[in-house]
């Protein structure tokens, strides 16, 4: 563990209720597990690693370390555009499971067994009365309005020329699927400052997320946007200013200067967590809790496999879930390891995150997740370090990287063939 000087910043008893890369909607082998009370704390290291999360008590494998909702979240612009239907606040699917499958398999007559296992409750959905964006519940509608939607609601009328739609169209032209982030997270952050009763406090909460030095911002904003980033950055900044009207709140100005805008983009780039939800995945998890007879469960498993095959045939399998990205306060203090002892899960079919231990964790041990997906994690040390350096600006010196330190600096075969495909 890389903690030389330890200053306790935060000490928390995890509640007993119920970067960091992309998530996919949980699969059936990821059933929710009971949460045991555990203790952890955020500590400051005196290395460039910054803060880290450390276990205070022993944490057995498969324990929920904490659960939390994001500080700010936004779904991807392409979701809505391609007919994906999710709550505009928490990403809970708004489609019933049959509609979800029909859309992705292009088979309109789809009938599923155990329809009562579908979680979608159409009768609870609430549209914004002004712009008709839909939420899964009155509670999401109210929270969105109180936190950011009052500032961002485009209202009725000329939806083509309102500043939000102009920004959305421009963003989609810059950032094709698979999206990895969205400008709307940044817009919601700024709207949160405008709507906060204590704006300075809100700015401070944003600046508490790990952020980089000035000369590192440009590298990260380049990653965020794609190749012709310079012109796009100026264009995006001016479009965001038209959505936000910075004159409403001087606290927002600092983030709309060239430097401030890039620093916010870099902050999002290094802290954001991908989230994915799906009505079909939720249905599968619920059916598993029915404890069906072996034969019935086997029939369900076969059906599920057929449906996935159809979905892959019709869509290419790349874009099955509702997707978005959020900033999480506690999760953003968790560092990366190529041999992580914890993992992020989304068991509630919305943006609520659970951090779960993968192994037994000793008191004093750092809790780490992987910022790489499963495929990337199995690549050579050189490929892993290259990805982390490019996307998070650090050289990973986790125990696995150190133990592979004598391996030659070779690019893994998978990465080399991906690079060829990209070209």
Ligand X SMILES: C[S@@+](CC[C@H](N)C(=O)[O-])C[C@H]1O[C@@H](n2cnc3c(N)ncnc32)[C@H](O)[C@@H]1O
Nearest CA to 138 out of 100, 189, 85, 87 is that of 87
Cβ closest to ligand X, residue 47 vs residue 124: 47
Q: Give the CA dihedral 141, 144, 150, 156, nearest 10 degrees.
A: -50
Minimum distance from CB of 221 to ligand X (Å)? Answer: 14
Cα(112)–Cα(114) distance, integer angstroms: 7
Minimum distance from CB of 51 to ligand X (Å)? Answer: 4
Evaluate whether 379 touches 333 at the Cβ level (below 8 Å): no
Which span sits near ligand X by CB under 6 A: 101-109, 163-171, 295-303, 389-397?
389-397
First-residue to last-residue Cα distance in the chain: 39
Q: Quick one: DSSP state of residue 146?
A: I
Cβ closest to ligand X, residue 85 vs residue 271: 271
Cβ closest to ligand X, residue 50 vs residue 157: 50
Torsions phi, psi for 333 (to 5 deg): -95, 5
Cβ closest to ligand X, residue 223 vs residue 237: 223
Alpha-helix residue ranges (DSSP H) falling in 175-330: 183-195, 199-207, 214-225, 229-244, 250-253, 258-271, 279-288, 294-315
Minimum distance from CB of 91 to ligand X (Å)? Answer: 20
**Per-residue x/- marks for ligand X, 369-388, CB under 6 A?**
--------------------
Q: DSSP for 302-345, please give it.
A: HHHHHHHHHHHHHHTTS--SEEEEEE-TTGGGPEE-SS-SEEEE
Minimum distance from CB of 222 to ligand X (Å)? Answer: 15
Which span sits near ligand X by CB under 6 A: 94-102, 372-380, 390-398, 414-422?
390-398
Minimum distance from CB of 30 to ligand X (Å)? Answer: 23
Count of residues that bind ligand X according to CB under 6 A? 18
Cα(51)–Cα(204) distance, integer angstroms: 17
Cβ closest to ligand X, residue 377 vs residue 393: 393
Evaluate whether 176 touches 65 at the Cβ level (below 8 Å): no
Minimum distance from CB of 176 to ligand X (Å)? Answer: 25
Minimum distance from CB of 49 to ligand X (Å)? Answer: 4
Minimum distance from CB of 41 to ligand X (Å)? Answer: 14
Cα(377)–Cα(373) distance, integer angstroms: 6
Q: Which of residues 159-188 bind ligand X (CB under 6 A)?
A: none
Minimum distance from CB of 72 to ligand X (Å)? Answer: 15
Neighbour-count burial for 222-256, b at 16+ CB within 10 Å, e otherwise: bbbbeeebeebbeebbebbbebbebeebebbebbb
Choose which of 105, 195, 249, 335 interacts with ligand X (CB under 6 A): 335
Q: Which of residues 5-34 bind ligand X (CB under 6 A)?
A: 19-20
Choose which of 78, 229, 283, 392 interacts with ligand X (CB under 6 A): 392
Residue 22, classed as helix, strand or coil, is coil
Choose which of 37, 50, 115, 157 interacts with ligand X (CB under 6 A): 50
Cβ closest to ligand X, residue 324 vs residue 340: 340
Q: DSSP for 44-56, please give it.
A: E-SSTT-EEEEES
Cβ closest to ligand X, residue 332 vs residue 348: 332
Q: Which tokens sit at 127?
A: 């549209």
Which span sits near ligand X by CB under 6 A: 46-54, 122-130, 144-152, 294-302?
46-54
Nearest CA to 338 out of 405, 417, 241, 251 is that of 405
**Per-residue x/- marks for ligand X, 300-319, CB under 6 A?**
--------------------
Q: Which of residues 203-242 bind ligand X (CB under 6 A)?
A: 210
Cβ closest to ligand X, residue 182 vs residue 271: 271
Cβ closest to ligand X, residue 249 vs residue 335: 335
Q: Which of residues 264-283 bind ligand X (CB under 6 A)?
A: 270-271
Evaluate whether 286 touches 117 at the Cβ level (below 8 Å): yes
Measured from the Cβ of residue 220, the count of other Cβ atoms closer than 10 Å reads: 23
As to burial, measured by CB atoms within 10 angstroms (0-12 exposed, 13-18 middle, 19+ buried), residue 181 is buried
336 binds ligand X (CB under 6 A): yes
Residue written as token pair 């600096």:
409
Minimum distance from CB of 342 to ligand X (Å)? Answer: 13
Choose which of 85, 105, 332, 370 interacts with ligand X (CB under 6 A): 332
Query: What residues make contact with ligand X under the rule CB under 6 A?
Result: 19-20, 49-52, 210, 270-271, 332-333, 335-336, 392-394, 396, 398
């Amino acid at each position: 563990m890389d903690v030389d000087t330890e200053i306790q910043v935060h000490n928390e008893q995890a509640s007993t209720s119920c970067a960091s890369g992309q998530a996919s909607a949980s699969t059936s082998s990821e059933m929710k597990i009971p949460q045991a009370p555990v203790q952890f704390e955020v500590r400051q290291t005196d290395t460039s690693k910054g803060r880290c999360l450390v276990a205070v008590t022993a944490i057995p494998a498969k324990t929920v370390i904490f659960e939390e909702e994001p500080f700010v979240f936004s779904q991807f612009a392409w979701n809505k555009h391609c007919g994906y239907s999710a709550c505009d606040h928490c990403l809970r699917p708004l489609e019933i499971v049959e509609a979800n499958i029909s859309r992705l398999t292009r088979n309109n007559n789809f009938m599923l067994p155990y329809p009562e296992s579908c979680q979608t409750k159409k009768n609870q959905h609430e549209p914004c009365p002004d712009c008709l964006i839909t939420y899964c519940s009155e509670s999401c509608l109210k929270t969105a309005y109180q936190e950011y939607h009052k500032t961002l609601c485009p209202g009725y009328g000329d939806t083509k020329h309102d500043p939000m739609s102009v920004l959305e169209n421009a963003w989609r032209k810059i950032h094709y699927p698979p999206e990895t982030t969205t400008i709307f997270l940044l817009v919601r952050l700024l709207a949160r400052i405008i709507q906060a009763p204590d704006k300075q406090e809100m700015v401070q909460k944003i600046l508490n997320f790990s952020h980089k030095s000035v000369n590192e911002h440009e590298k990260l904003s380049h990653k965020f946007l794609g190749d012709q980033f310079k012109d796009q950055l100026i264009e995006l900044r001016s479009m965001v200013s038209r959505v936000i009207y910075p004159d409403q709140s001087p606290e927002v100005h600092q983030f709309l200067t060239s430097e401030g805008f890039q620093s916010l983009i870099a902050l999002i780039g290094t802290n954001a967590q991908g989230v994915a939800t799906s009505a079909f995945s939720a249905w599968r998890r619920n059916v598993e809790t029915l404890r069906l007879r072996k034969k019935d469960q086997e029939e369900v498993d076969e059906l599920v496999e057929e449906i996935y095959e159809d979905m892959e045939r019709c869509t290419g399998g790349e874009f099955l879930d509702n997707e978005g990205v959020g900033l999480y306060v506690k999760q953003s203090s968790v560092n990366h390891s190529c041999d992580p002892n914890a993992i992020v899960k989304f068991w509630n079919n919305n943006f609520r995150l659970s951090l779960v231990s993968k192994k037994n964790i000793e008191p004093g041990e750092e809790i780490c997740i992987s910022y790489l997906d499963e495929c990337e994690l199995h690549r050579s040390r050189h490929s892993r370090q290259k990805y982390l350096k490019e996307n998070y600006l650090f050289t990973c010196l986790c125990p696995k990287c150190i133990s592979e330190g004598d391996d030659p600096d070779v690019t893994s075969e998978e990465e080399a063939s991906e690079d060829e495909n990209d070209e």
